[in-house]
């Protein structure tokens, strides 16, 4: 047995009581603050559900073609989406997609400025990195509980949990992408009298874009990975089907919903990756012309 | 060329490291670069460097790798701040400038060409050449017009929409050169601009630079580690060793009278006949009439055949007036690889 050095129970009570106090006094304020998030999610979801299914399929096939200029990926995209529809999972897939898109957009809005700020300040980088490590390694249930306590079960805690889980790679890769920009190019800009802002906007961000896009790709994948857990706290969508499959011991339901998630993952992963590669070729960072 | 100094470096010392004062003190006591580095872990980049580049001149700084050439040239547009000393460009004290004044100075007074080109990979040739103008705030149509002009002058017409990675090294450096020339600055800084290029392409670029300079009359500070390049394009040359200037002079001066063994090492492999001009070795007392005369800038290589039929060849100044003569003996003595010049 590890000897008790001091009593930790008061600390734990203090944390629990503190949280309870926050929930009681600040719960509504938090919910109001998160309202724009919910609004964004509902708008995206409503929009996607109102669009006929074939329009969505054509859209993704078109994006896949634009990214690769080949027919292989668009074919895979069409088949995967048709499969999702055939398995009677279309609406659930759209809900999951809406959750993922909302989480990704929100993550981008927060992570890009943070990543950029980190790349310009060693101090900030030193402060933020351990927080990112914590966000990535802490089991999601640990922060899920307080979030649910504050917001109540539903879509908001699901979104927030997804964002906490999916943001770190984007912040890191934005920071890395900007730091990686060739010193000689920046020196040339400096010699021509560029301001720090001109360097950032004209050189660092464009040259970091392929790396940032890789971060966006990771964020979407991690957001998708979160859907099952998010469904436990009321996000609905494919994750909920998986959960029901488990609950009712209906292997087929779980399997189908799982395949649906895989289909979405393939579509988003391949399309964002192909766009990243295209961008890299355009910039001339990769060998192929 | 007139004698107005455009770039003036006075007693520039640069110490890399966090305790420059200690290193400075040791230098004052007469320690060498290596001793300072051993004792204090501070790197001496430049040690008491003074030089003055005149208006319209191509001034070459030459030295081995690590001798401080890049450090030196970066002081002129203050990409590096000196530890001590003063710097004037166009009579402005650039060390006294605040950030905004410095930016204006970089935008209007000096342009730079880099060894590894420093082009923007995400922009096409046209926008690369127009980059400095864009930074300075020129209108799009105006800057594209200027960029087109320079792209044509450096011989890259038709490549406006290519990306840097689609061009050869020589072409990329032409973009770098056009980008600098488009700024229309009086001062041009070139840090080993041609060193990354193949010998053949390099000599083509040297020729092009000299041709451009004939009509542009810029003040050019040119860095190289290649002595042949230095004597080919330099009006004057400074030889740098371990951050110190060991000799400054016209190419012939350096070839005929190398200041020490370090300089002699460079001079040894030079084709002297192509470099030494008769004006540098003429006998001023030799004024008796002779059958042929040559201008004073004629190289030894070109006068040698004349000695097959003549004992003396007259030398004329730029106006065509006789200023002396040379004999075969004098030419041969100048070409001989003797080392008695080193005293
Ligand atoms: N930022 C720096 N920090 C520490 N030392 C430096 C720094 N920059 C240059 N030095 C040192 O200063 C000396 C001169 O370097 P510099 O780059 O000016 O040489 P160079 O003559 O341009 O060489 P090369 O031909 O290889 O380009 C070298 O000893 C180098 O290690
Ligand atoms: Mg160098």
The percentage of chain B sitting over the pLDDT mark of 70, rounded to a whole number, equals 97
Residue B90 DSSP code: T
Please answer yes or no on whether B104 and A192 come within 8 Å at the CB atom: no
- In tens, the pLDDT along B118-148 reads 999 999 999 999 999 999 999 999 999 999 9
Average pLDDT score over residue span A38-51: 94
The percentage of chain B sitting over the pLDDT mark of 90, rounded to a whole number, equals 60
The percentage of chain A sitting over the pLDDT mark of 70, rounded to a whole number, equals 98
- Pairs from A31-35 (Cβ < 8 Å, separation ≥ 24): A31/A150, A31/A151, A31/A152, A31/A156, A34/A151, A34/A156, A34/A159, A34/A160
Question: Does position B102 have pLDDT exceeding 80, yes or no?
Answer: yes
Which of the four pLDDT bands, split at 50, 70 and 90, describes residue B282? confident
Q: Find out whether B2 and B54 touch, Cβ atoms under 8 Å.
A: yes
Contact list, B136 vs chain A (CB under 8 Å): 192-193
Question: Does position B343 have pLDDT exceeding 60, yes or no?
Answer: no
CA of B69 to the centre of ligand 1 (A): 8
Q: What domains sit in chain A, N to C, each tagged with a CATH number?
A: 22-282 (1.10.3720.10)
Angle (deg, nearest 10), helices A251-283 and A90-120 = 40
Question: Does position B341 have pLDDT exceeding 80, yes or no?
Answer: no
What is the Cα B152 distance to its own chain's centre? 25
Average pLDDT score over residue span B157-164: 93
Chain B (150-169) residues lying within 8 Å, Cβ to Cβ, of chain A: 163-166
CA of B123 to the centre of ligand 1 (A): 30
Measured CA to CA, the distance from residue B47 to residue B29 in angstroms comes to: 13
Average pLDDT score over residue span A239-254: 90
Q: Find out whether A93 and A238 touch, Cβ atoms under 8 Å.
A: yes
CB pairs under 8 A between A and B: 68
Mutate to test the interface with A, among B77, B131, B195 (most CBs of A within 10 A): B131
Question: Does position A278 have pLDDT exceeding 90, yes or no?
Answer: no
Average pLDDT score over residue span A24-44: 89
Shortest Cα distance, chain B CAs vs residue A190, angstroms: 8
Q: Find out whether B219 and B186 touch, Cβ atoms under 8 Å.
A: yes
Question: Does position B1 have pLDDT exceeding 70, yes or no?
Answer: no
- pLDDT at residue B131, as a whole number: 96
Measured CA to CA, the distance from residue A84 to residue A123 in angstroms comes to: 47
Q: What domains sit in chain B, N to C, each tagged with a CATH number?
A: 55-76+97-273 (3.40.50.300), 276-342 (3.10.580.10)
Most trustworthy range by pLDDT among A151-160, A185-194, A234-243: A185-194
Q: What ipTM did this prediction achieve?
A: 0.85
Residue by residue, DSSP assigns chain A as -----S--HHHHHHHHHHHHHHHHHHHHHHHHHTHHHHHHHHHHHHHHHHS-HHHHHHHHHHHHHHHHSSSHHHHHHHHHHHHHHHTT-HHHHHHHHHHHHHHHHHHHHHHHHHHHHHHH-HHHHHHHHHHHHHHHHS-HHHHHHHHHHHH-SSHHHHHHHHHHHHHHHHHHHHHHHHHTS-HHHHHHHHHTT--HHHHIIIIIHHHHHHHHHHHHHHHHHHHHHTHHHHHHTT--SHHHHHHHHHHTT-HHHHHHHHHHHHHHHHHHHHHHHHHHHHHHHHHT-SS--
- pLDDT at residue A289, as a whole number: 36
Residue by residue, DSSP assigns B47-67 as EEEEEEEETT-EEEEEE-TTS
Measured CA to CA, the distance from residue B204 to residue A49 in angstroms comes to: 65
Average pLDDT score over residue span A28-48: 91
- pLDDT at residue A286, as a whole number: 52
- pLDDT at residue A288, as a whole number: 40
Q: Which residues pair with B46 in a beta bridge?
A: B14
Please answer yes or no on whether A284 and B104 come within 8 Å at the CB atom: no
Least reliable range by pLDDT among A168-172, A273-277, B17-21, B274-278: B274-278
Question: Does position B338 have pLDDT exceeding 80, yes or no?
Answer: no
Which of the four pLDDT bands, split at 50, 70 and 90, describes residue B337? low
- pLDDT at residue A180, as a whole number: 92
Chain A (178-197) residues lying within 8 Å, Cβ to Cβ, of chain B: 184-185, 187-195
Q: Find out whether A215 and A174 touch, Cβ atoms under 8 Å.
A: yes
Question: Does position A287 have pLDDT exceeding 60, yes or no?
Answer: no
Average pLDDT score over residue span B54-64: 94
The percentage of chain A sitting over the pLDDT mark of 90, rounded to a whole number, equals 61
- pLDDT at residue A124, as a whole number: 95
CA of B267 to the centre of ligand 1 (A): 24
- In tens, the pLDDT along B261-272 reads 999 988 888 888
Measured CA to CA, the distance from residue B327 to residue B314 in angstroms comes to: 9
Average pLDDT score over residue span A188-209: 94
- In tens, the pLDDT along A84-120 reads 999 999 999 999 999 999 999 999 999 999 999 999 9
Mean pLDDT over all residues of chain A? 90
Residue B16 CA, closest ligand 1 atom number: 4
Measured CA to CA, the distance from residue A267 to residue A80 in angstroms comes to: 8
Is B63 a pocket residue for ligand 1 (Cβ < 6 Å)?
A: yes
Q: CB atoms < 10 A from the CB of B62, how many? A: 25
Compare CB distances from A192 to B132, B163, B164 and report the shortest one's residue: B132
Average pLDDT score over residue span A118-144: 91
- In tens, the pLDDT along B225-246 reads 999 899 989 999 999 999 999 9
Mean pLDDT over all residues of chain B? 90
Angle (deg, nearest 10), helices A9-33 and A35-50 = 50
Is B174 a pocket residue for ligand 1 (Cβ < 6 Å)?
A: no
């Amino acid at each position: 047995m590890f000897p008790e050095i001091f009593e930790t129970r008061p600390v734990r009570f203090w944390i629990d009581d503190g949280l309870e106090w926050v929930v009681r006094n600040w719960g509504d304020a938090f919910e109001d603050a998160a309202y724009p998030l919910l609004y964004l999610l509902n708008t995206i979801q409503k929009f996607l559900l109102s669009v006929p299914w074939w329009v969505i399929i054509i859209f993704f096939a078109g994006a896949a073609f634009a990214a690769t200029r080949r027919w292989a990926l668009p074919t895979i995209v069409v088949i995967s989406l048709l499969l999702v529809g055939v398995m009677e999972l279309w609406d659930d897939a759209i809900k999951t997609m809406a959750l993922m898109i909302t989480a990704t957009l929100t993550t981008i809005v927060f992570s890009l400025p943070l990543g950029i700020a980190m790349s310009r300040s060693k101090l900030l980088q030193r402060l933020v990195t351990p927080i990112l490590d914590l966000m990535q390694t802490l089991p999601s249930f640990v922060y899920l509980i307080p979030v649910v306590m504050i917001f109540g079960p539903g879509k908001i805690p699901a979104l927030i949990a997804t964002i906490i889980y999916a943001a770190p790679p984007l912040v890191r890769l934005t920071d890395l992408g900007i730091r990686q920009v060739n010193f000689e190019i920046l020196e040339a800009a400096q010699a021509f009298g560029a301001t720090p802002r001109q360097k950032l906007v004209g050189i660092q961000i464009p040259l970091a874009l392929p790396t940032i896009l890789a971060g966006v790709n990771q964020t979407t994948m991690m957001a998708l990975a979160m859907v099952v857990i998010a469904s436990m706290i009321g996000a609905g969508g494919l994750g909920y089907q998986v959960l029901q499959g488990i609950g009712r011991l209906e292997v087929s339901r779980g399997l189908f919903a799982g395949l649906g998630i895989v289909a979405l993952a393939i579509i988003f992963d391949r399309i964002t990756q192909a766009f990243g590669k295209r961008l890299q070729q355009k910039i001339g960072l990769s060998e192929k012309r | 060329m007139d004698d107005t100094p455009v770039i003036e470096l006075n007693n520039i010392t640069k110490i890399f490291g966090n305790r420059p004062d200690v290193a400075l003190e040791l230098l004052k006591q007469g320690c060498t670069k290596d001793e300072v580095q051993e004792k204090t872990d501070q790197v001496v980049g430049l040690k008491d460097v003074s030089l003055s580049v005149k208006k319209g001149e191509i001034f070459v700084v030459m030295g081995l790798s690590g001798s401080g050439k890049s450090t030196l040239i970066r002081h002129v547009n203050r990409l590096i701040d000196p530890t001590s000393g003063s710097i004037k460009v166009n009579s402005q004290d650039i060390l006294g400038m605040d950030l905004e004044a410095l930016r204006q100075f970089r935008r209007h007074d000096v342009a730079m060409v880099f060894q590894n080109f420093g082009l923007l990979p995400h922009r096409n040739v046209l926008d690369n050449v127009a980059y400095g103008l864009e930074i300075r705030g020129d209108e799009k149509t105006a800057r594209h017009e200027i960029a087109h002009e320079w792209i044509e002058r450096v011989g890259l017409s038709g490549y406006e929409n290519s990306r840097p990675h689609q061009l050869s090294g020589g072409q990329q450096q032409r973009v770098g050169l056009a980008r600098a020339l488009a700024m229309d600055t009086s001062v041009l800084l070139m840090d080993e601009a041609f060193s990354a290029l193949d010998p053949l392409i390099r000599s083509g670029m040297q020729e092009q630079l000299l041709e451009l300079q004939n009509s542009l009359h810029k003040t050019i500070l040119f860095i190289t580690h290649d002595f042949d390049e230095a004597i080919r394009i330099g009006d004057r040359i400074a030889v740098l060793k371990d951050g110190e200037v060991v000799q400054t002079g016209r190419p012939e001066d350096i070839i005929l009278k190398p200041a020490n063994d370090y300089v002699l090492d460079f001079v040894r492999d030079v084709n002297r006949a192509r470099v030494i001009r008769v004006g540098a070795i003429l006998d001023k007392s030799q004024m008796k009439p002779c059958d042929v005369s040559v201008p004073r800038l004629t190289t030894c290589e070109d006068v040698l055949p004349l000695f097959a039929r003549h004992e003396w060849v007259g030398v004329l100044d730029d106006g065509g007036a006789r200023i002396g003569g040379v004999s075969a003996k004098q030419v041969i003595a100048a070409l001989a690889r003797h080392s008695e010049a080193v005293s």
